A and B are shown apart, each in its own frame.
Chain A
């Protein structure tokens, strides 16, 4: 049961990372095309700034958060705790995981709240030729932070299991 949930999550997050990678490529091509159009043909692509900032950037920043959490690759400092033994370190990681989860849950809650609000308003930015809808990208934050929470929970469960295993080893 748990294993199949993890597998589904992993696939989903892999797919979203591919999506973010696709956006990185698209952003490169879009900005280059805009630059070429403006410089050589006096004809920039309309709405480049809005689409780059509100869509590509938002996807690039929030979609990979879950995969970074899965790889435990969020930037942190290990120097001051490198002297600790395995077991206290596991305990500390468990506490750090719970604290991180608490914070990211708040962020996720606010992201969902904002997404619902902006969807109801049909949030849009004004560009030179009309309005570009932005509310859709508000949901990218909710998805990104939400999946980050899921992997924080998984990491906590794994640490708790490792800690229990450690204790049983001592008992034997």
Chain B
């Protein structure tokens, strides 16, 4: 079999195993093992199996992951999101669709403490949606904004996805984290424009506050900033420290988690239950992520042995594609896989196949990283399997139908199309900050 046949055949085999309910990590591992047995023999396969689990876990680059998860769990369990939403509501709810705008911006700020979109969507679903429904907001808008704005957490540092991309694509994690800042802000900005325009054109989506209510907001505005200033300091400290190379991603995560505990203690939210929940969430999520990563590395090594990357490079060389054209082609793959697979699975399965192609056309790996992570986040929103949408639904129970949430998300997906065109046509949105780091 040629390397290309082996590569695509094994990819199909993995997707079949995954569709048959075999856990993703095990599906990848089995095919990796079978691949080594096919190309060499079973003893070689066992030798690789003996080596890889330890190698993946004891990897300095990936140490940022548990720290980012812990930081996010502490922020999630300590109720910082309530203060964020309250402050954002006081400042922005005079706008058309003001509560939805406030939800969007509070999610962006929460993203500065959390690296996981699903967690961000879960926390805002509990706090913001009841408030919006109480003010007779359209159900699709109220739930859609929460599901979509959750994805900002994966772009704004910290971000678990960028760490994994960085390690597997061998790109600087720090630069990737910094590269996510502007695309994250751009997404939040375009979402805001979308919400304001829609609600301005169709006020029935989001009833405006009365004059008296709007006046009342002004008095409390400054006081509402008091409980959120530690988060703002944390956010600026993290981005600044990474940008100026004062600390690594792991150190940023550890210090961020530590400071989140300190902030929670200062605000009298540091309880035994909160600490236990945060730590347990951290260890189980870490275990889940690394179990998949171990399978993925087994599979990737097999593809390496099969010579897939050289084959892909040659294939692409023949076509003489431009990086932009290749990104557009990859978009189709990510959009399709995003409809069914979990985000980490998509990232780890596609990277060994697509990365050599991007290298061959000399695409900037930082730019590619931003685009890939964006697509994976869009995959959290698209039916039939949109993890953020499912999360919102599971928090709300029977109050809102799944179809209503997907309908609300539809508008934001249209905005995402605009954002993706901007990010693809202007790579400098992603690369200007990391390039300036020197």
Asked if B58 and A77 make an inter-chain contact with CB atoms under 8 angstroms apart, the answer reads no
CB-CB < 8 A to B49: which residues of A?
A: 106-107, 110
Instruction: Give CA–CA (A114, B341) in the complex, Å.
Output: 33
Determine whether the beta carbon of B283 is less than 8 Å from that of A63.
yes
Please state if B21 and A81 are interface contacts (CB–CB under 8 Å).
yes
Interface assignment of A156: CB less than 8 Å from any CB of chain B: no
B315-354, CB < 8 A from A = 340-342, 344-345
Q: B33 touching A103 by the CB < 8 A rule?
A: yes
* Contact partners of B63 in chain A: CB under 8 A: 27, 52-53, 56-57
Q: A32-B255, A106-B49 are contacts. A100–B286 as well, Cβ < 8 Å? A: no
Q: Residue A141 at the B interface, CB < 8 A?
A: yes
Using A64-B284, A77-B24, A107-B49 as known contacts, say yes or no to A32 and B290 having CB atoms under 8 A apart.
no
CB within 8 Å of B: which A128-153 residues: 137-138, 141, 145
* Contact partners of A99 in chain B: CB under 8 A: 22, 26, 30
Residues of A within 8 A of B341 (CB): 77
Q: Count B-side interface residues using an 8 Å CB cutoff.
A: 57
Query: Of B18, B29, B67, B291, which one neighbours A27 at CB under 8 angstroms?
Result: B67
Q: Which of A11-67 contact B (CB under 8 A)?
A: 17, 20-22, 24-25, 27-32, 34-35, 39, 49, 52-54, 56-58, 60-65, 67
Q: Residue A79 contacts which of B51, B247, B385 (CB distance < 8 angstroms)? A: B385
As a 0/1 sequence over residues 247 to 290 of chain B, the CB contacts with chain A under 8 angstroms (1 = contact) are 10011011101100100000000000000100110111011101
Contact A111 B20 (CB under 8 A): no
Rounded to whole Å, the gap between the CB of B242 and the closest CB of chain A is 13
CB of A150, distance to nearest CB on chain B (Å): 16
A75 touching B23, Cβ below 8 Å: yes
B414 within 8 A of A: no
* Given contact pairs A92-B21, A106-B46, A49 touches B60 in the complex (Cβ within 8 A): yes
- Cα(A93)–Cα(B19), bound, Å: 12
Chain A, interface SS category: helix
For residue B59, CB closer than 8 A to chain A, the reply is: yes
Taking CB atoms and an 8 Å cut-off, the chain B residues in 51-68 that contact chain A are 51, 53-54, 56-60, 62-63, 66-67
Q: Do A107 and B53 form a contact, CB below 8 Å, given A35-B254, A75-B342, A99-B26?
A: yes
CA separation between A107 and B19, bound complex, in Å? 23
Residue B292 is within 8 A (CB to CB) of chain A in the complex? yes
Q: Once the chains bind, are A74 and B53 in contact (CB under 8 Å)?
A: no
| A96 contacts B by Cβ under 8 Å | yes
Q: A64-B284, A77-B19, A99-B30 are in contact. Are A110 and B291 (CB under 8 A)?
A: no
B246 at the interface (CB under 8 A from A): yes
Taking a contact as CB atoms closer than 8 A, the residue among A52, A65, A80, A113 that contacts B287 in the complex is A65
7 contacts between A and B (CB under 8 A): A30-B254, A61-B287, A74-B25, A77-B21, A77-B342, A111-B50, A114-B50
What are the 8 tightest A-B residue pairs by CB atom distance, in nearest-first order?
A31-B254, A64-B287, A21-B279, A74-B23, A110-B50, A61-B57, A80-B19, A61-B290
Seed contacts A57-B62, A61-B56; 16 additional CB < 8 Å A-B pairs: A24-B286, A30-B254, A35-B251, A52-B60, A53-B60, A60-B57, A61-B290, A65-B287, A74-B24, A75-B288, A80-B19, A103-B29, A103-B33, A104-B26, A107-B53, A141-B54
